[in-house]
Amino acid sequence: MLEIAEIGRVGELAPFEREWQCLLDRTNSNVLFLAYPWVSTWLKHFWADKPIRFLFVRKGGDLVGLAPFMVDEERNCLAFPVNDYGEHCDLVCAGEDEEVLEVMVGHLKSRFARLDWNLRRMPKASHVQRALPSVLARHGLIHICHESWPSPFLGLAPAGRDYLESKPQHLRSEIRRKRKRIEKEGRVEFCKYTSLEQCSAAMEEVLHIERNSWKEQNGTSFTAVPGLREFYTEVACRCAERSMLCIYTLRLASEPVAHVYGIRWGGAYYALKTSYCESQKGLSPGVVLFDHCIRDAVESGMMEFNFLGDQSRWKNELASGAREYVEMKVCPRTVASVARQCVEHRIKPFIRARLPMAVAAKRRLQNVLGLGR
């Protein structure tokens, strides 16, 4: 028999950390953005004093399900802890997915019958995402899906092999050329920060680069967005305590000019944020640093390198694949919701299949206008 517990305050999540991680270890959901250190820190900085509805499902005393929901009162919906700084989320189930989902959906429907669910950035390939629609239908709920932007990743070869071996010749030549060009401008140093004692120095360099980056002018840097500096500083400290932190910087003539702020989790490296000094743009310090980071990840035994962030030509060329995600909206069955589901699930796929050139042109225009995400 399954039992369910509902947690309504962020401060009540700490006692669940150990079994939370044990649950992730038993599933295919052991990714950084579902881990307790990340989720709890995200909630503290982006959802402080707001209601949550985290569901913990147990079977025979063992945790077999986790539903990380927040109550978004402004939009009148249940939502995942996802924004521009939290890449994706999912429902976590161990064992019989549909059995666990039945309990979750039944509980949420009885408690929040008038709230829609906004399930952003669910992995398209997850077992839960495939099992959820039939469970929702049994409870009289409509689900409406559309594709989200993909996230490129690079599967890493064993140490001793050049990760660029399988890449096009022009890309290998381009990276070597960029490396030589920046080395001609002055002494190049690569720094790696992993310990709690190094957090202060690491963040000092990261913030210096952010202040002098193009992101500062656009208002998206760590130093331009209120609260972002504090969030990433605390994430760095908490991850360093758990041997997860791995921040890289590139110094040119002793000045920090590029950074990759990353976390190691579950055998994968997550390049959460990266930037470079605008004055050094012509030397491509970001690309040179990424090349160094990937090589170090290989030597460190990482199995995967996740690029994350905005799409770019060189990220896609370096990647060996891309994870696909969906945005799922769940709502009561009405004439309007059924019509919208028909548009998203039938009419739009029909248009994409019949007019692929028009769809490709639309995507190119979105990318040019910065609307891809």
How far is it, in rounded angstroms, from Cα 225 to Cα 106?
39
Look at residue 339 and tell me if it is in a domain.
no
Look at residue 364 and tell me if it is in a domain.
no
Q: What does the buried/exposed string (b/e) look like for 170-185 if buried means 16 or more CB atoms within 10 Å of the residue's CB?
A: eeeebbeebeeebeee
How far is it, in rounded angstroms, from Cα 26 to Cα 345?
32
What tokens does 218 get?
Answer: 């656009």
Which ranges constitute the DSSP H helices of the chain?
17-25, 36-46, 97-111, 127-138, 169-184, 199-211, 214-218, 228-241, 285-299, 313-318, 335-342, 348-354, 356-369
Contacts of 157 (CB under 8 A, 6+ apart): 163, 165, 298
| Same domain membership, residue 207 and residue 122 | no
Q: From the centroid of its chain, how far is CA 324?
A: 12
Look at residue 369 and tell me if it is in a domain.
no
Strand partners, 72: 77
| Same domain membership, residue 181 and residue 44 | no
| Same domain membership, residue 211 and residue 183 | yes
Contact 273, 261 (CB under 8 A): yes
| Same domain membership, residue 94 and residue 156 | no
Look at residue 370 and tell me if it is in a domain.
no
Q: Which helix (H) or strand (E) holds 12?
A: none
Total number of domains constituting the chain: 2
What tokens does 225 get?
Answer: 């967005």
How far is it, in rounded angstroms, from Cα 324 to Cα 35?
20
- Annotate 78-111 with DSSP letters as a single string: EE-S-BTTB-----EE-S-HHHHHHHHHHHHHHH
Type of residue at 202: A
Look at residue 359 and tell me if it is in a domain.
no
| Same domain membership, residue 305 and residue 257 | yes
| Same domain membership, residue 182 and residue 141 | no
Look at residue 317 and tell me if it is in a domain.
no
| Same domain membership, residue 296 and residue 272 | yes
| Same domain membership, residue 51 and residue 104 | yes
Q: Which of 258, 278, 310 is the last residue of a domain?
A: 310
Q: In CATH, what number is assigned to the domain containing residue 194?
A: 3.40.630.30
Backbone phi, psi, residue 235, to 5°? -60, -45
Contacts of 309 (CB under 8 A, 6+ apart): 271, 272, 273, 274, 315
pLDDT tens for the chain, residues 1 to 373: 899 999 999 999 999 999 999 999 999 888 999 999 999 999 999 998 899 999 999 999 899 999 999 999 888 899 999 988 888 999 999 978 899 999 999 999 998 888 899 999 999 888 888 899 999 999 999 999 888 889 999 999 877 688 888 888 999 999 999 999 999 999 999 999 999 999 999 999 999 999 999 999 888 898 888 889 999 999 999 999 999 999 999 999 999 999 999 999 999 999 999 999 999 999 999 999 999 999 999 999 999 999 987 778 888 899 999 999 999 999 888 777 777 777 777 777 777 777 766 656 666 666 555 555 5
How far is it, in rounded angstroms, from Cα 101 to Cα 93?
8
The boundaries of the domain holding residue 235 are 152-310
| Same domain membership, residue 208 and residue 182 | yes
| Same domain membership, residue 248 and residue 137 | no
Q: How many other β-carbons are positioned within 10 Å of the β-carbon of residue 65?
A: 26
| Same domain membership, residue 273 and residue 164 | yes
Look at residue 186 and tell me if it is in a domain.
yes
| Same domain membership, residue 41 and residue 75 | yes
Look at residue 131 and tell me if it is in a domain.
yes
